[in-house]
Structure 1
Amino acid sequence: MGAAGSTALARLGLPEPGRTRWLGVAALGVAAVTLGAVAWRRARSRRRRRLQQVGTVAQLRIYPLKSCKGVRVSEAECTPLGLRSGHLRDRFWLVIKEDGHMVTARQEPRLVLVSIEAEGDRLVLSAPGMDPLVLPSKLPSSNSIQNCRLFGLDIQGRDCGDEVAQWFTSYLKTEAFRLVQFEKNMKGRKGREILPDIKEKYQVAYPDCSPLMVLSDASLADLNSRLEKKATMDNFRPNIVVTGCGAFEEDTWEDLVIGSVEMRKVLACPRCIMTTVDPDTGVIDRKEPLETLKSYRLCDPSEKSIYKSSPLFGIYYSVEKIGSLKVGDPVYRMV
């Protein structure tokens, strides 16, 4: 290229051809060094964060219909929205009033007696005094989308139809109800909207706070040592029950690895009158085990803005890496 051509390239801010080749080689070298440094830092980080076994998975529980009976499974997939086993997904169905507001066992305690089972591509609802009702696991697209309200936040759900609406209305006998189903293409409630003080980015369908809740059997045993009438895991509705650790050791766990799943601590689970609903009778007590928990499981004063006067029992987690897990898997904390 002549001097005029070189001058024109210079005016445009472009290097001359010889320099282009040199710069390309240099850029590749810089990129390689940079990528190598990033890989080295990540490897070093992984080496620093060793795994320490803190327990073993004793139970896995999915609660397909919010406030209704849980389904114990031996293994499950862990999606960003929580546990899944076949067509059963955690808190993907919700009873609502006709105005869209959620209904839970806090308002209708007899919901805890409703069970849901998967039979092939169908879901079967059962409740005391009611004939079983069959639902398709996938609703027709012609079913309307309902705008729902959970704890002050908006979320959608596909209406499950008039037959199941009448079924719940007849069972609860207080007002008109409908059932909706969350679909994975719908927009979930964001963790930061539910809990403005947290930093984790995740979404949920109809759970209270997060995709997963972990509780140890030792913590329940400690509580029961203080109760006249013993509570069960059904009072507290965890997704993952851990055995082989001390009472309330789960309070100290941050990041966990179970099976191929990685999860991150969100916050402790603040308990409410839902825990006082008897899972066997559907009668709400409004006292125990909540009052006993309040006597020794209140938060540190520095965290009162988050938990207020609610006692803490169990830990909420978000899903950092999807995968699968099963009963008997070791539970590791990253340290």
Structure 2
Amino acid sequence: MSATIASLHSYPVKSCAGLTHRQANISPGGLDDDRHWVLVDRYGIFMTQRTVPRMALIRPRVENHTLFLGAPGMPDITVSRPAPVEAPPVRVRIFAADTLGADEGDDVAQWLSDFLEMPCRLLREHPKARRIASPEHVDAWIDKHADWAGAFPHAHRFGFADSFPFLVTSLSSLDELNRQIQERNAERPVVMKRFRPSIVVDGLEAYDEDHLIGMRVGPLTFAFTKACARCQIPNVDPETAVVGMEPTLTLARHRL
């Protein structure tokens, strides 16, 4: 079975708007600068569109490891302080896993707090962070598919993504989902960016990815260790931050 890569995407600040790339540097930890920053609330808890959908309107971009942020009605702001190794580490819990961040300072914290209308701070991944992607799922995949896995590494250090450094989606599966949505109601189709993929592939049949163990792109091997259990973030319109009922209603009917 063969397919082609249709697009590549990264999300410099967790749960903010993404970037689309014609090409990208890649490592076991994901695309360059992907989920390298995270917002935390006044209690130090990481923030996402699940509870703060307005985050979808924050537009990051990265040039030479310098972060630029824009948002409707706000002047752009630059965050250009690479976190030194000696920067005071701030402990961050991403679901069940702890990792380390470095605070990016008061100016950007105030900018974000003003736009989101709630106190928050911006943290960059700390140089001493050692968060490993769901080792129980990776180890189980390697054990089950040893012949195909070859020398696939057990440990993948990554940043502030939920569980894994990559998410792969299929254009055919999105087309089928939109057909089902329009069959149920007259809502307009949902766009792929709602699902926040890293790699979008073309050339598969709808939901073929359910049955694949991985993919190879040149010398690179990607393990399909776990299906993504969808939260409510795809219900957030990435252009307006308005929360609707789709695609969750249709996914619940056809994909559970």
* Residue 65 of structure 1, aligned match among 1, 6, 13: 13
Shift of 1:161: 0.7
Equivalent residues, number: 239
Which deviates further from its counterpart, 196-205 or 164-173? Answer: 196-205
Residue of structure 2 aligned with 1:221, choices 159, 167, 175: 175
Q: Structure 1: which 5+ residue stretches go unaligned?
A: 1-51, 299-335
Q: Deviations over 1:275-306 (max 9, x none)?
A: 11110101222x211110010111xxxxxxxx
Structure with the greater alpha carbon radius of gyration: 1
2:93 counterpart residue number: 149
- Segments of 4+ moved more than 4 angstroms: 140-143, 195-200
Whether contact under 8 Å (2:178, 2:190) holds in the other structure is yes
Q: Distance in 2 between matches of 1:138 and 1:123?
A: 10
Per-residue CA deviation, residues 62-110 of structure 1 (Å, 9 max, x unaligned), is 11111111111111222111112xxxx1111100013221000111101
Task: Give the structure with the higher percent strand.
Answer: 1
Quote the sequence identity (%).
Answer: 34
Q: 1:273 is matched with which residue: 232, 237, 250?
A: 232
SS of match in other structure, 1:103: coil
1:180 aligns with 2:123: yes
Please say if 1:292 is aligned against 2:235. no
From 205, 230, 252, the equivalent of 1:246 is: 205
The CA distance in 1 between the partners of 2:229 and 2:72, in whole Å, is 30
Deviation at 1:143, TM superposition (A): 4.4
Quick one: distance in 2 between partners of 1:141 and 1:161?
16
The answer to whether the 8 Å contact 1:192/1:199 transfers is: no
TM-score calculated relative to the size of structure 2: 0.87
**Counterpart secondary structure, 1:168:** helix
Return the letter of the residue paired with 1:82.
Answer: G
Q: 1:103 to 1:232 in 2, by over 3 A?
A: same
CA distance in 2, matches of 1:137, 1:56: 37
Q: 1:243 & 1:196 partners in 2: Cα distance? A: 25
Correspondence for 1:255 among 197, 207, 214: 214
CA RMSD of aligned residues (A): 2.0
What is the identity, as a one-letter code, of the residue corresponding to 1:258? Answer: V
Residue 191 in structure 1 maps to residue 134 in structure 2:
yes
Q: Structure 1 residues 67 and 196 mapped into 2: Cα distance closer, same or farther (>3 Å)?
A: same
Which of 110, 122, 138 in structure 1 is aligned with 2:54? 110
Partner of 1:124: 68
Q: Partner of 1:117: helix, strand, or coil? A: strand
Letter in 1 for 2:51: Q
Q: Distance in 2 between matches of 1:263 and 1:196?
A: 11
Deviation per residue, 1:141-169 (Å, 9 max, x gap): 56432111111322110111111111111
Counterpart Cα distance in 1 of 2:226 and 2:65:
36
Q: Which amino acid aligns with 2:176?
A: D
Instruction: Using the TM superposition, give the Cα deviation of residue 197 of structure 1 relative to its aligned residue in structure 2, in angstroms.
Output: 9.2
1:256–1:263 CA contact under 8 A, matched in 2:
yes
